[in-house]
Structures are given as structure tokens and as C-alpha cells.
Chain A
């Protein structure tokens, strides 16, 4: 439960002392930081224009037939997300170069990392909903590959599969929602959602669209009851947890909610669902953060808490509420990425990230301690840190929610107080106090690794002191990008003495109390979780087992090894498929022959029928072979009578050969008399099915005979046989000239059959 397994895998991976190759690729990894750096510089270049409300666009057609275009645009919201993605991308890439040094598969690692980053940039810049979906699935796949990066650990594989199934299923739901939206007359161009009052909210399909889109967003952003995959996703390497599962990918769901807000938001259904789901997720995950000892799991629960808060605020429809969501997004991305990277450093240097084995690291790694302190204070929401700004606006927002303001406020205060306690645990436990004797001597890591937490920790202070700058340059345009009303957006350090300030004070004191009670609370949560009759993760496990079991049962049922069963199914389908159209066409007529004409042919028909009957009832091999011979010879006679001497000849030859071979082999096989008799019921059913199949053949043939024959091919061959191919026997000319390739294929079949037959005989021991 406490992820010891995951931790060991992760440490092994980081510490595995492999080859120079690893170091080389790690250095190459360092160079790949150019990619996110370039994106970051590009975005900063666009920033001044976007900050004053411009929207930058790029567009190429891709598949116009389905309205899929390579449309990109950078507006305030795309800029906010893009800066987080590329900024964190730079830090994580640099960090990874140190963290993954010596790992044998760093090449693959950096490919996945940047593949993910580009997909994420695609999501936030795509202006076409289908295009967004393509990138959306890209992040799902790369997330899967990165969670299961340590592919030799079955835990990592299972966790990766869990994340893939949950977010992948959500992706499918989103796709359904997208298609329904199109059906309801909605546009795929996201920026158009702002302009027109589209009438989607009044459309009959609205509830279905809403459910599908919310499923997509909730699974991606780990909202209750889909929250269970995120803590398990911590089996990914730590920088990945920092990047994907704290700062960026899990926010894709939040991003989706923001983009859909002007189109679907503002209804009672939207507001109720988001406020309640977000509130439950926030409080429940914050409580769960006290259970585990693995620092990454603790942080994972605080991530779901933060996502829950953002979801809750996106349930509102006024500027303060939406501003709270956008601001907290930035607040959280900064402190959480810094914390994750710091945990990675601790793990890397001290060899463990279990809270109960850590302590007194502050003196040994001052830079890391400072970065964690900045992040933790921001997380706790102390004044002068960016988290304080976020918390103030949160309380203001919670009080202003359209739906359930009391519930929202209580949830916000409770979750934030729990965050204060978690922040204290994360800061104090590893860095303060005495160092456990078992812990090795540690020191700050190389610059590539400490740069990330420090660079991410710094803005939490700067933004905390100059909130007006952040709101003016970044948050305002981001909110206006999904808030067409364009109400005033402003962040302030000092609002005067008011209820949010009071709530902040309450939060800090309550947090201190919870910190004191953290051990009993942790035990309580572990106890509760163990006793819950129904849990989301457990339901997932049961569902998966059930699915696999039923798949296995189905396969065993259908592929049961019984020839009789297979044939029965095939024939039933054949009879039904032919019978169905035939029943609609009416009765078939049979033209009886003129007795004078081909009277001898009728005799041959009788011979064939009798021969067939003999094979059917034969009690021994000799009778059966005799019957087969009669049928074969009879068919040859039919050919002969109706102008086909060539095939009659062939038929006779082949029939003779067949009888010889069959007789030879049958001599070495058990006699027919030895065969077990089947039950009468089965024989009657088999007979009925056989008659049905026979009827199918007869009726097919009669159906063909009722249509006039198209003789054009025959006429062509007859006309060209001598002139073009210089042969007088038209059948022969067709075989060896016009359709020579077919004949070649036929010979190939014969050779293959002979070849396979010989090899089967050769290896055989004599039957006993």
C-alpha cells in the first residue's frame, strides 16, 4: 500500500550503475532540453501580444471531409498552459539528464518525454476539437509508456495498464461526446464557441454530450470516482511524476473543462456535477494523503485534491470563481512540480523516499531544502507566497459559487487545512530533526537537478509578492479566453479584513491542529480505506478480472476443440444466411426433363444417388469405397454425356487414383465397425442440418438456373481460341493459355500437398 515496491524499482533504476552508454545518452538528453526551451522562448516571444488580447493563429487543411484541420491558436489560456508545459518541460528535461544518468534506456525515456510534451502542447494550442482529441490520445499513450517505463516490474506494468484503461476509456467517451456535439450542430472550431450562442445547451442531446465530455475530463484529471489511477501512476520515474502527473497531463481534463465552459457550462447540471464531484475529490484525497509513507504517494493524493478544487471552481460561472480555478492551476503547477523534483532528489541522494526513514537532511542539502520550503509554504498558503493569493481567491470564489456555496466553502477550507498539514509533513519530516543512523551521508545534487526545484520555487515567492503583475499579464487573458463576459480579473496581496482572510487564518490554525493529529488521522484513514465495502480501485480490479474471465470463458466455449461444434456453427450460419433472402423471394420451380431427352442421363443420376446412399450407410470400408467409386464414375458419365469428354477423362483418372490412395491408407486405419455409434438425437439433428445445407445448394443452383446465362466470356474464349492461341480444344486453351496463371497456381497446390504429405508420412511411427 505504501508503494515500497514502486520505490525500490525507482531507486534501482536511478542508481543502476550501467555503462558509459547511459551517461552518453544522458548528456544527449541534456541537449534535448533545446526543444522545450525553444517552445518556451517562442511562447515568451508571443506573450506581449497575447497579454493585450491578441490571438495568434495558424491553419492548414488536413482532412477537410470530416472537418479536421490543423488549426492552432495561442490565446491567453493556451499561453498559460503552454508556459507551464514548456517551462516545466525545460526543468524536467535538465533534471532527467542527471536523474537518469547511467540508466540503459535513456534514449527511449527522452523520446517518450518529448513525445508527451509535444502532444500536450498540441492539446492546449489546437483550435480544432478533433485535432485536440488526437493529441489527447497521444498524451494517454505516452503516459502509459512512461508509467510502465520500468517494464520489468509487474507493478509498474499493472499501474500503466490501469492508467491506460481508465484514461483511454475516458478518451473514447470524449470522442463520443465530440461526435454527438457535431450531430447537435456544434462546431469543431473551439474559438467559435465563444462567439455565437450556439444553442447546444438547449439541444436534446445536451445531457449526453455533457456526460461524455465530463467522463473524458474526469478520467484524465483523476476526479472521483476515477481518482484511483493517479496514485498508482507514481510507479513512473519521479521527473515524469512531476511533469505528467502533477504539472501538466492531469490538467488536460481541467483544460478541457475550461474550453467547454462557454459551450456547455453554466447549466444546473454542469454546476451541480462539477461542484459536488470536485468537492468530494478534494476533501477525500486530502484525507487520504495521510495514509501512505511514500512521499510520492502523499504528493499524488494532494494532486488529486488540487484537481478537485479546480474542478469545483469550474462549476461556477462568474469571474472570481473562474479566476480561482485559473490561478490555482498556476499555483499548483509551480509548487507541486518543485516538490516532486525535490522528492526525486531525496530519493536519488538518500536512497529512500519513505517519510519514516528520512530526517535531518536540511543541513546537508540546503538548496533542496530551500526550494522545498518555498514550495511547501506556497502549498500551505502562507502570506507572501503565491499559494496565499490562490487561497484568498479560492475562498472568495467558494463564497460566490452559484451552486452550494456553503458546501464549496467548507470543502475548500477543509481541503486547504489538510494541505497545510501535508505541507508541514513534507517539509519538516525529511529536512528537520535528527538524521536517522541508517541514512547515508547526502549532499545537494548536480546543478541540472537542483535547478528545477529552485527555478520553480522562485516564482512562488515572486508571484506571491506581485500578484497584480501575474493577473494582468497572464491570468486575465486566460480567464477571458473561456469567459466571454470578460468581467474584471484581479489578484491582490491585500484585500482588507474580510471573510476570505478570516478563512485563511482558520485554515492555518486548523492545519496546525491536523498536523498535530496526523498520526491518528493516518491510522484512521488506513483503517477506513481497508474497511470500505466498495472502493473505486477495488471495483476496477473486480471489473478487470470479470472482463478477463468472461473473455476466457467465451473463448473456451467457442474454441472448445470440437469439430462437430465448429461445423454446426458454420453450417447454421450458412443455412440461415442463405435461407433469409430466399424466404423473401418465394418458391423456386423445377423444370422436369422431357423423358425422351437424355433418358440415359436419368439412369446415371440414379446411380449417383444410390452410390451416395451406399457411402452413407456403409458398414465397412469396402462398401464405402465402392459407393464412392460409383459416385465418381457417375459424375464422369454426366460430364461425358453433356459434351465434356476432357473432364470426364480427368475425373475417371483422378477417381481411380483416389480410390487407390484411400484404400491404401484405410488399410492402416481402424475399421469403420470400430467407430463409436452416436446418440440418435445427435444423428437426427445432424441429418436435419445436412438436409438444410443440401437444400441451400439446390436452391442456389435453381436460383442461378432461373437467370439467363451470360455467355460473353465463353464466346470470347471460343472466338479467340484458334485465332489468338492456335488451339482447337477450347478447354485446353483456356487452361494452359488464357488462364495459365491459374493452372500454375493449381500445380503449386498439388506440389505443396504432396510435399506436406510426404513429410507427414516420413516422421510417422507405425500406428500401433
Chain B
């Protein structure tokens, strides 16, 4: 089963990358959401899927009875899901704000690309002394 999931992870990840490269910022966010899921699946699968009993300790016992699913990746994924959600929400708001400011959500639109103008201050550009220096 892990092998199939490995293929699935690659597939979802490829789709998410394709969406991120599309240049349409809304699709970029879709790609981001897919990537979150793909990565969570990857961590989950890496922890092996041989046992399907939840990692719980029955009442009366002090340790799990019999083999259970791997608890450690589950804990990691729980954290990852929440953080992924926070990131996605923030991205959505950022998108909203970007559209409000620039009136475009096309990453290749000059209005977005020009948001980082080339630094062109008065002196750091290396004007060298014109007097002297010659010999």
C-alpha cells in the first residue's frame, strides 16, 4: 500500500507545482493547499501503514496492547495541518489585499512585478571620481 501512496504523493505534488507555476495567483493558493495535503500524506506513509489500530492505551493497561499505528508521525501531522491552515488563510488574505492594491492577480503582470523596483540610490551606484586618478 505504501508504494501506491508514494505514487499518489508524487502525483498530487506534481499537480500542486504545476498550479503554482501557472502564474495565476488564485491557482497558486490551490497548489499550496494540495502541497499541504501531499506533504502530510508523505509523512504519514513514511511512518508505515502496517497496523491500523489507533495508538491508544486501553483502560487497565499501562502500555498499548498489541501493535498499533505509529503515533509519532501522527503528532507531527496534527501540527502540520494546523500550521498549513494558518498559512493558507494568511495567503488568502494576502491575495485579497494584493488584488485590492494592484487590481491584478496575475503574477506575470508588470503591476505586480514592478512592486520591487531596482535599487537606484544616488551614490551606491559607483560614481567614481572624475578628477585626479589619471596617470
Task: Identify which of B20, B54, B113, B133 contacts A560 (C-beta below 8 A).
Answer: B113
A1 within 8 A of B: yes
Task: Identify which of A155, A545, A560, A728 contacts B126 (C-beta below 8 A).
Answer: A545
Min C-beta distance of A104 to chain B, whole Å? 23
Query: Chain A contacts of B14 at CB under 8 A?
Result: 690-691, 693-695
The answer to whether A742 and B79 have CB atoms under 8 Å apart is yes
Min C-beta distance of B80 to chain A, whole Å? 9
The answer to whether A643 and B97 have CB atoms under 8 Å apart is no
The answer to whether B30 and A767 have CB atoms under 8 Å apart is no
The residue in chain B whose Cβ has the minimal distance to the Cβ of A743 is B79
Mark each residue of chain B from 52 to 82: 1 if its CB lies under 8 Å from any CB of chain A, else 0.
1111111101111000111110110111011
Closest 5 CB pairs of A and B: A694-B14, A643-B69, A698-B10, A548-B126, A537-B133
Mark each residue of chain B from 14 to 32: 1 if its CB lies under 8 Å from any CB of chain A, else 0.
1101111111101111100
A278 within 8 A of B: no
Mark each residue of chain A from 578 to 605: 1 if its CB lies under 8 Å from any CB of chain B, else 0.
0000000000001111000110011001
Mark each residue of chain A from 529 to 546: 1 if its CB lies under 8 Å from any CB of chain B, else 0.
110100111101100110
Mark each residue of chain A from 543 to 554: 1 if its CB lies under 8 Å from any CB of chain B, else 0.
011011000100
Query: Chain A contacts of B44 at CB under 8 A?
Result: 638-639, 642, 644, 647
Q: Bound state CA distance, A399 and B42, in angstroms?
A: 84
The residue in chain A whose Cβ has the minimal distance to the Cβ of B101 is A764
The residue in chain B whose Cβ has the minimal distance to the Cβ of A628 is B33
List 11 interface pairs A-B (beta carbons < 8 Å), by A numbering.
Answer: A3-B131, A154-B127, A612-B34, A644-B69, A658-B85, A697-B42, A698-B6, A705-B2, A718-B57, A730-B56, A749-B86
Question: Which B residues lie at the A interface, using CB under 8 A?
Answer: 1-15, 17-24, 26-30, 33-34, 37-38, 40-42, 44-49, 51-59, 61-64, 68-72, 74-75, 77-79, 81-90, 92-97, 99-101, 103, 105-108, 112-116, 118, 123, 125-129, 131-135
Q: Bound state CA distance, A6 and B133, in angstroms?
A: 13
Mark each residue of chain A from 362 to 374: 1 if its CB lies under 8 Å from any CB of chain B, else 0.
0000000000000
Min C-beta distance of B101 to chain A, whole Å? 8
The residue in chain A whose Cβ has the minimal distance to the Cβ of B33 is A628
The answer to whether A590 and B129 have CB atoms under 8 Å apart is no
Among B57, B75, B93, B95, the one with the most A-chain Cβ atoms within 10 Å of its Cβ is: B75
Given A612-B11, A731-B55, the answer on whether A154 and B135 have CB atoms closer than 8 Å is no
A735 within 8 A of B: yes
Task: Identify which of A555, A639, A728, A739 contacts B75 (C-beta below 8 A).
Answer: A739
If over half of B's interface residues share one DSSP class (helix, strand or loop), that class is named, otherwise mixed; here it is helix
Question: Which A residues lie at the B interface, using CB under 8 A?
Answer: 1, 3, 5-6, 154-155, 158-159, 162, 227-228, 231-232, 284, 288, 529-530, 532, 535-538, 540-541, 544-545, 547-548, 552, 555-556, 559-564, 567-568, 571, 590-593, 597-598, 601-602, 605, 608-609, 612-613, 615-616, 621, 624, 628, 631-632, 635, 638-639, 641-647, 650-651, 654, 657-658, 661-662, 665-666, 668-670, 672, 675-676, 678, 686-687, 689-691, 693-702, 704-705, 709, 711, 713-714, 717-719, 721-723, 728-731, 734-735, 739, 742-743, 746, 749-750, 752-754, 756-757, 760-761, 763-768
Among B22, B38, B106, the one with the most A-chain Cβ atoms within 10 Å of its Cβ is: B22
In the complex, besides A1-B134, A561-B115, A753-B89, 11 extra interface pairs with C-beta distance below 8 angstroms are A1-B132, A6-B132, A154-B127, A530-B134, A548-B126, A621-B26, A643-B68, A705-B3, A717-B71, A749-B83, A767-B99
Task: Identify which of A631, A669, A689, A756 contacts B105 (C-beta below 8 A).
Answer: A669
Among A562, A601, A718, A763, the one with the most B-chain Cβ atoms within 10 Å of its Cβ is: A718
Q: Bound state CA distance, A638 and B12, in angstroms?
A: 14
Query: Chain B contacts of A702 at CB under 8 A?
Result: 3, 6
Q: Bound state CA distance, A269 and B27, in angstroms?
A: 68
Query: Chain A contacts of B108 at CB under 8 A?
Result: 562-564
The answer to whether A642 and B52 have CB atoms under 8 Å apart is yes
Q: Bound state CA distance, A602 and B5, in angstroms?
A: 9
The answer to whether B17 and A694 have CB atoms under 8 Å apart is yes
Min C-beta distance of A152 to chain B, whole Å? 12
Q: Bound state CA distance, A757 and B91, in angstroms?
A: 8
Task: Identify which of A540, A563, A711, A765 contacts B100 (C-beta below 8 A).
Answer: A765
The answer to whether B17 and A571 have CB atoms under 8 Å apart is yes
Min C-beta distance of B87 to chain A, whole Å? 7
Task: Identify which of A537, A544, A608 contacts B12 (C-beta below 8 A).
Answer: A608
Min C-beta distance of A286 to chain B, whole Å? 12
The answer to whether B52 and A612 have CB atoms under 8 Å apart is no
The answer to whether A609 and B8 have CB atoms under 8 Å apart is yes
Query: Chain B contacts of A743 at CB under 8 A?
Result: 79
Min C-beta distance of A115 to chain B, whole Å? 26
Task: Identify which of A6, A602, A697, A722 contacts B9 (C-beta below 8 A).
Answer: A697
The answer to whether A665 and B56 have CB atoms under 8 Å apart is no
Q: Bound state CA distance, A378 and B127, in angstroms?
A: 41
The answer to whether A643 and B55 have CB atoms under 8 Å apart is yes
Given A232-B132, A541-B128, A750-B86, the answer on whether A701 and B42 have CB atoms closer than 8 Å is yes
The residue in chain A whose Cβ has the minimal distance to the Cβ of B124 is A548
Query: Chain A contacts of B126 at CB under 8 A?
Result: 544-545, 547-548
The answer to whether A635 and B41 have CB atoms under 8 Å apart is yes
Task: Identify which of A227, A669, A734 contacts B96 (C-beta below 8 A).
Answer: A669
Query: Chain A contacts of B78 at CB under 8 A?
Result: 646-647, 650, 731, 735
